Amino acid sequence: MTENSTPALELTGIEMHYGFVRALDDIDIHVMPGEVVALLGDNGAGKSTLLKVMSGAHKPSHGSIRVHGQEQSFHAPSDAAEAGIQMVYQDLALVEPQDISTNLNMGQETLRKGPLGLLGFVDRKAMRRSSEAELDRLGVRTAPMTRPVEMLSGGQRQVVALARSAIRVNGESRGILLLDEPTAALGYEQTKNVEGLIERMAAQGIAIVIVTHDLPLCYEVADRMVILNRGKKCADVPVEGTDRDHVVGWITGSRASMFAA
């Protein structure tokens, strides 16, 4: 089977500019199905930018993206979503005045049955019920479904954003989940929940890229680490057997890149 050796997501030669700022410089990165890759790097290293390229939120200036071996060109996040990619953004990307259920169902609303459904009427009760069931299945809990997001704490918002993406890739064995600092606002217990969630998702065969500044979390959940320094990839190593001091060195730039040309 060649299937097993085809990465779920593979980016080659990615370059990305913000005006004159070069945020990404010739990045190659891939994730296998069921693999958890931690993307590490200092503030401003380009982690979020790289993830946004993967999710279709940004279009790279150069480079190619392959999803399960197929070359793709994303013009909007909807294209990436169609290819099975879901992302939790660092700024969460929630609609504050709307309630949790509406946010969770955004873009995949359940319509009412019958003629009202044809007119585009949504079935709010059904959406609330199914969202609650999905959250239960994922083992994450947050505030009541009818609570507007603006009334949630930072951690609760993060859980909502995470849950939305998780619900959408859950059960999709070819799914790809991109997480930009998903535990930054979470307490100890909730972080443990997210760890469990990531492990269960990976066990289903979902490919996961997680950006984090939390090294213990990285060692807990990730199989491989990719480290960025000022927009360049400077290390790509398995988690097992890699010294933390080396990792910190790559992150801060005090250790020479593995790929120095």
Ligand X SMILES: Nc1ncnc2c1ncn2[C@@H]1O[C@H](COP(=O)(O)OP(=O)(O)OP(=O)(O)O)[C@@H](O)[C@H]1O
C-beta of residue 169 within 8 angstroms of C-beta of residue 201: yes
The count of residues interacting with another protein (CB under 8 A) is 52
Strand order in the sheet with 85-88: 85-88, 176-180, 207-211, 36-41, 224-229, 232-238
x/- map, 39-68, Mg ion, by CB under 5 A: ---------x--------------------
CA distances from 15 to 11, 21, 232 (A): 10, 11, 10
Q: What is the DSSP secondary-structure string of 124-152?
A: HHHHHHHHHHHHHHHT---S-TTSBGGGS
- Beta strands 232-238 and 224-229, pairing class: antiparallel
Nearer to ligand X, 53 or 202 (CB): 53
DSSP 3: G
When asked if residue 190 is in the footprint of another protein (CB under 8 A), the reply is: yes
Contact between 139 and ligand X per CB under 6 A: no
Residue 258 interacts with ligand X (CB under 6 A)?
Answer: no
| Residue 77 parent element (H or E) | helix 77-82
The vertex-159 CA angle with 137 and 155, nearest 5°, equals 145
- Binding to another protein (CB under 8 A) within 126-165 occurs at 128, 132, 135-136, 141-148, 151-153, 155-156, 159, 164
Cβ proximity to another protein, 66 vs 192, nearer residue: 192
Contact between residue 166 and residue 220 where contact means Cβ atoms under 8 Å apart: no
Distance CA 209, CA 28 (A): 14
- The yes or no reply on residue 73 touching another protein (CB under 8 A) is no
Give CA angle at 125 (122, 126), nearest 5°. Answer: 75
Q: Is 86 or 102 the residue whose CB approaches Mg ion more closely? A: 86
Give the count of residues interacting with ligand X (CB under 6 A): 12
Interface stretch with another protein, choices 34-42, 99-107, 205-213, 249-257 (CB under 8 A): 99-107
Taking the least distance from each CB to Mg ion, the nearer of 23 and 149 is: 23
Which one of another protein, Mg ion, ligand X, none interacts with residue 49, CB within 5 to 8 A by kind? ligand X
- Among residues 86, 90, 105, 156, which is the contact residue for ligand X, using CB under 6 A? 90
| Binds ligand X (CB under 6 A): choice among 46, 56, 84, 182 | 46
Contact residues for ligand X, defined by CB under 6 A:
18, 21, 23, 41, 43-49, 90
Catalog residues that contact Mg ion under the rule CB under 5 A: 48, 90
